[in-house]
Amino acid sequence: MSTVLITGAFGQVGKRCAEILLQRGKTVVALDLDNAKTRATAAELGAAGPGVLVPAFVNLLDADAIAALMAEHRPVAIVHLAAMLAPASYRNPALARKVNVEGTRNLVTSALALPEPPLFLYASSASVYGSINPYRHPERITAQTPVNPIDQYGEDKVLAEALLRDSGLPAAMLRLAGVISPDAQTTASSDHLVLMRATPGDNRMHTVDARDVALAFANAVDRGPAVADKILLIAGDESHVRTHRELEDTMMTAFGLGALGPGASLPGDPDDENGWSFTGWFDTTESQEILEFQQHSWNQTVDWVADSVGPARVVLKALGPVLRPTLRTVLALQRRREKRGKYADPWALISAHYGPAALANRGTP
């Protein structure tokens, strides 16, 4: 029975990837931080299939513990999902750099010490591409599109990718679009609201169902020779190609509140290369051919989220006619207080809110 190590194993993608691999009879060493939520998820996954789940509550920054875990289990593949994500990472970019880059380095160092080097599957991000002006660059993002991170998180991902490329391990970089799942209801915070307000309403947003991301990684585990040394773009099918305003309004409708409409966000500046957020629209032709992961349409993903809301959806739907104009007024007042202009200018807002360290160094980190 082959062994796979998953980091961030009890998160929105990790737990679903672990479930697939357990159903395929793998031994899954599930690495995550120790808290009540991860222990509850571990208990649920324990009965997921004929495979064996080995919970491992280990911190990525504990190099000795990572080395011992790797030496004990000798995985044939590593699915590295754990990270300190944006926008929460903007609050502590120094810690995020340690987790996202040095944590990856600890895994790589331990993997290189094994008798047989494991396949390393890295969860990268659309953030590596930074700000792409859709008016000047209407083409789809591909694996060959140059990286140009504009924020700290994207820069972390670029550094970790470089570390992996230089390691000599068989590795694949899976660059993820905007992952959607019902889990967002429990992880949303004021930081996410800042990022949502910062993003231009006409920003290109390519989404992907978390279940499909999990399948992509699980299939990559079993298709090592086909994925090694590749950059693979992981996003949903064509129904997942949206704009930020459309995405946000559809999700708010799924929650029961209803659409806020175009006035709820500012547009991007067609003449500003740095005036845009991510994700952009991906060309997933190659990744889909290799990994066959696009199983859920946009409507199926939206229904999944809506079904998870429960009775609160009925209440929000009833209150929607009152809440929507109130929210639109609040958003307009926030923009006025922040002295925002005609365009969204997202990174000016991010920098003002979190400090300049939230942005990429744009030089040698």
DSSP H or E stretch at residue 109: helix 103-112
Phi, psi (5° rounding) for residue 360?
A: -70, 150
Cα dihedral sign for 132, 238, 193, 215?
negative
At 127, the pLDDT band (50, 70, 90 cuts) reads very high
pLDDT tens digit sequence for 63-93:
999 999 999 999 999 999 999 999 999 999 9
Residue 317 amino acid letter: K
Residues contacting residue 87 through CB under 8 Å, at least 6 positions apart: 153, 191, 192, 194, 195, 350, 354
Mean pLDDT, to the nearest integer, of 331-344? 95
pLDDT at 188: 67
Contact 179, 208 (CB under 8 A): yes
Phi then psi for residue 268, to 5 deg, are -85, 155
Residue 364 has pLDDT above 50, yes or no: no
**Alpha-helical regions (H) of 223-341:** 224-227, 244-255, 285-291, 298-309, 312-337
Provide mean pLDDT across the span 356-360: 96
pLDDT single digits (tens) 257-314: 999 999 999 999 999 999 999 889 999 999 999 999 999 999 999 999 999 999 999 9
Q: How much is the mean pLDDT over the chain? A: 95
Share of the chain above pLDDT 70, in %: 98
The mean per-residue pLDDT over the stretch 237-251 comes to: 97
Q: Exposed (0-12), middle (13-18) or buried (19+): which is 168, by Cβ within 10 Å?
A: exposed
Residue 118 DSSP one-character state? P
Query: Where exactly are the structural domains of the chain?
Result: 3-182+208-239
Sole residue written with tokens 């930020």: 244
- Measured CA to CA, the distance from residue 151 to residue 139 in angstroms comes to 22
Give the other-Cβ count within 10 Å of 150's Cβ: 23
What pTM did the predictor assign?
0.96
Q: What is the homologous superfamily of the domain 3-182+208-239 according to CATH?
A: NAD(P)-binding Rossmann-like Domain (3.40.50.720)
